Amino acid sequence: MTTGTLFDIQSYAVHDGPGIRTLVFMKGCPLACAWCCNPESQAFRVELRQVPERCLACLRCVEACPEQAMTAIHGVPVPDRAVCATCATLACTAACPGGALVAVGRPVRAEAVVEEVARDADFFRHSGGGVTFSGGEPFAQPAFLEALLRGCRERGIATAVETCGHVPLRDLQACEPLVDLFLYDLKALDPAKHLALTGQDNTLILANLRWLAAHAPAKVVIRHAVIPGLNDDASDHEALADLMLSLGLERLDLEPYHPLGEPKYEGLGRRLTCAPDARLLDEARLAVLVATFNGRGLSCEVA
């Protein structure tokens, strides 16, 4: 029995692979991208999220916390995040009548996830879709991911994995035969810039991409999050096109930054460490980027 930690499963998605897809979001990531729009995916552990607009100010959470980590300040519950980070029970969430305290993430068996995904099999069949494992970083839970992929393969469900590539090569190699499509994220080509933006340099990411391009190029779509002011100057994009052409990879998805993830930071007791201006990525600018990449001989789309 293989278990892992998810933070969401979403049906009827139309991005992240062909056809209608079920997205399985796995918890934990080896990178810490400054602009991450899914901050709840970054930590491996189950986390406490506050939703202040649902709070009834009943203060039951203060009584329920076995660690005395929840304090009422001017009638509003305020958690001690240092204590909550090691909390095993998240007892406050069960005591909250308003749904204002939410446990983000749940441990689950691989078989149960495959069962849930398989409920959408008719949609997959009629649309040419399947399941996409995303996150977080799916390969950061390698045994769990392999069990999920194997279970989907046994049921004839097409599979895609979105990966940041900062994973042991042996895990990529073990799963490659079970994956129909890799959505391979490249944040920046310059190692120093990559380190500054994500907390890791890209040596391992590029080495793994070279292996994948040599062994299964038809399975690879490169994904590039375009973050205004951080990784979107002309030299960034020239380097990306050069790399793809040198590896024989043609398909590129651009993912423009959007600010929808920004409010999640506060609920998790964190701060967004950068402030990209999404208005700089209007349709005209995106059209220019797409045309530039297509002009280099790539097949580029906005995801």
- Residues of this chain that interact with ligand SF4 (CB under 6 A) are 48, 55-61, 65, 67, 69-70, 77, 79, 83-84, 87, 89-92, 95-98, 100-101
We find the least distance from the C-beta atom of residue 106 to ligand SF4, in angstroms, to be 15
We find the least distance from the C-beta atom of residue 80 to ligand SF4, in angstroms, to be 7
Beta carbon nearer to ligand SF4, 55 or 289:
55
The answer to whether 106 touches 147, Cβ cutoff 8 Å, is no
Beta carbon nearer to ligand SF4, 10 or 89:
89
Beta carbon nearer to ligand SF4, 251 or 264:
264
* CA triple 38-150-252, angle to 5 deg: 45
Kindly state the helix (H) or strand (E) to which residue 84 belongs, with its residue range. helix 81-84
CA–CA distances in Å: residue 72 to residues 53, 263, 289: 16, 22, 50
We find the least distance from the C-beta atom of residue 68 to ligand SF4, in angstroms, to be 8
Residue 158 CB partners (closer than 8 Å, separation 6+)? 17, 124, 128, 129, 130, 131, 152, 180, 181
- Distance (Å, rounded) from C-alpha 195 to C-alpha 141? 23
Beta carbon nearer to ligand SF4, 59 or 243:
59
Beta carbon nearer to ligand SF4, 32 or 84:
84
Beta bridge partners of 254: 224, 302
The amino acid that residue 297 corresponds to is G
Cα–Cα nearest to 153, from 171, 168, 138, 131? 131
We find the least distance from the C-beta atom of residue 197 to ligand SF4, in angstroms, to be 30
How many helical (H) and strand (E) elements, i.e. helices and strands, does the chain have? 12, 13
We find the least distance from the C-beta atom of residue 81 to ligand SF4, in angstroms, to be 8
Beta carbon nearer to ligand SF4, 84 or 216:
84
We find the least distance from the C-beta atom of residue 89 to ligand SF4, in angstroms, to be 6
